[in-house]
Amino acid sequence: MTTRRAFFGSLPVLAAGSLMAQERRAARPKIKITDLRCAIIGRNPTVRIVTDQGISGYGQAEGTKGYLKPMVLFYKDYILGEDPTDVERVMLKIRRMGAFKPWGAAVSAIEIALWDIAGQAAGVPVYKLLGGKIRDRVRIYNGGFRPPMKGQRPEDYAETVQRMKEAKEGFTLIKMAVAFHNRAMMTAIPDMWYDEPRGGASHPNKGVLTERGLKYIISCVEAMKKVLGDEVGLALDAGPGFMMKDAVAFSRACEPMNLAWIEDMLTGDYTPYPNAELYRDLKMMTSVPIHTGEQIYLRQNCKDLIEKQAVDVLGPDPEDVGGIAELKWIAEYADLHGIAIAPHGIFDGLIGLAAHVHMAAAMPQNFIAFEYPYGQPEWWYDIVDGLPDPIVKKGFVDVWDNPGLGVTFKVAAAKARLREEDRGFFD
């Protein structure tokens, strides 16, 4: 009985403690979004969400998408007055109004800015809000580091990856553009494929490779692999544009080279569908890991690729797929189906880099590496604080613990870089 009295006697104390916690929560002022702004800083559309508590959150879209500013501002009326720390509630209002690359980028940048605010308001790094980190450093691959090439011969490719292997970042994984993802390669020799070269939008060419075209591409890959050996992994960004028979032939020819993956051969960059059935057939016919996904918007559009186990590696971009929480959800679901994750991110900028680091820290164990974005132009490194120095050590970025994304603007320096129409961005 003594034990029972002691136990039950403590209940009022617990209830009182619970009441005090409720009172503290009630007394805490609710944070509200008061403005949504977008400026093109350098090349990157940069989003600022302003609140009535003096906290601002930042997000970013790829540096190739300067046309996105009006699309970002389209969502302003939908999120004004909302609590930015209720990230999912805000996203429910706008998520359904995005689309495959490039139009999901505006929604994604807003999502990243919301997490930045939520972390600052809670006084914790964003990775804590994504479930906590399972790794203290995150692997990157070369991304924006692409030295200019002297030519398009196999020896030119060998020389280029040698320079990348010797880079100060110490890359443990290098990705190179080949085949239809590399217009210079596809016009380096005559009659690479049975169609005429086309200009215009990103990667417009597609067709059946000639025998000489296939042999030439393979020779360039062999030259690169000979330089990298088993010291540095080699991945290929190869399309879209391959026909199925050539994708099979190319993949099988690459099998002895133990590539990390071949990316986007059939569909991919700026293709408004994933074509899971075709990828599944390709995957079944080769031991080379097959990768796609950078153009995909939202988990729903990854569903077929994952559930049909159509690829070995998924590579959504957090600045296109709907944000960092969206990509983490996709990674967890992919992990259940034995599929690895290697996020795209070549043009994601320095705010995007911070988002990648927090997201990768909390990724499940199917994470390989993310594509490392550089600040472009170079003066981006002069207008932000919070990044480690050096950022990359031996192919990895150490995860930092500052609240939010942990990267802040040096406002005076950043203001000096604003375009005239964006002068009020930091006011």
Segment 50-109, tens digit of pLDDT: 999 999 999 999 999 999 999 999 999 999 999 999 999 999 999 999 999 999 999 999
Nearest to 333 by CA among 361, 359, 302, 362: 302
Cα-based distances in Å from 189 to 51, 184, 214, 406: 56, 10, 11, 48
**Prior bond to 272 cis, omega within 30?**
no
* Pairing of the two strands 340-341 and 313-314: parallel
| DSSP-assigned letter for residue 60 | E
Residue 36 has φ and ψ, to the nearest 5°, of -125, 125
Whether 238 and 264 have beta carbons less than 8 Å apart is answered as yes
Nearest to 234 by CA among 185, 172, 146: 172
Nearest to 245 by CA among 208, 211, 206, 201: 208
CA–CA gap between residue 223 and residue 131 (Å, rounded): 42
Residue 422: which pLDDT band, with cuts at 50, 70 and 90? very high
Residue 200: which pLDDT band, with cuts at 50, 70 and 90? confident
Q: What is the DSSP string of 88-108?
A: HHHHHHHGGG--TTTTHHHHH
CA–CA gap between residue 82 and residue 34 (Å, rounded): 8
Cα-based distances in Å from 33 to 48, 66, 87, 202, 247: 11, 24, 12, 36, 49
Q: For domain 128-404, is the CATH number 3.30.540.10?
A: no
Asked if pLDDT for residue 5 goes beyond 70, the answer is no
- Which residue matches tokens 């007394």? 27
Q: Mean pLDDT across the stretch 290-298?
A: 98
pLDDT of residue 29: 75
**Prior bond to 373 cis, omega within 30?**
no
Whether 276 and 254 have beta carbons less than 8 Å apart is answered as no
CA–CA gap between residue 275 and residue 273 (Å, rounded): 6
What are the structural domain ranges in the chain?
33-123+418-422, 128-404
Whether 330 and 294 have beta carbons less than 8 Å apart is answered as no
Give all strands (DSSP E) within 178-271, no chain letters: 233-237, 261-263
271 or 9, which is more confident: 271
Alpha helix (H) ranges present in 256-383? Answer: 276-284, 303-307, 324-336, 349-361
Asked if pLDDT for residue 21 goes beyond 90, the answer is no
Global pTM value? 0.93
End-to-end CA distance of the chain: 66
- The answer to whether the Cα torsion of 356, 357, 358, 363 is positive or negative is positive
Per-residue pLDDT of 302-357, as tens digits, reads 999 999 999 999 999 999 999 999 999 999 999 999 999 999 999 999 999 999 99
> Hey, what amino acid is at 87?
V
Asked if pLDDT for residue 299 goes beyond 50, the answer is yes
Fold of 33-123+418-422: Enolase-like; domain 1 (3.30.390)
CA angle 335, 237, 231 (to 5 degrees): 75
Per the DSSP assignment, residues forming a β-bridge with 233 are: 173
Residue 27: which pLDDT band, with cuts at 50, 70 and 90? low
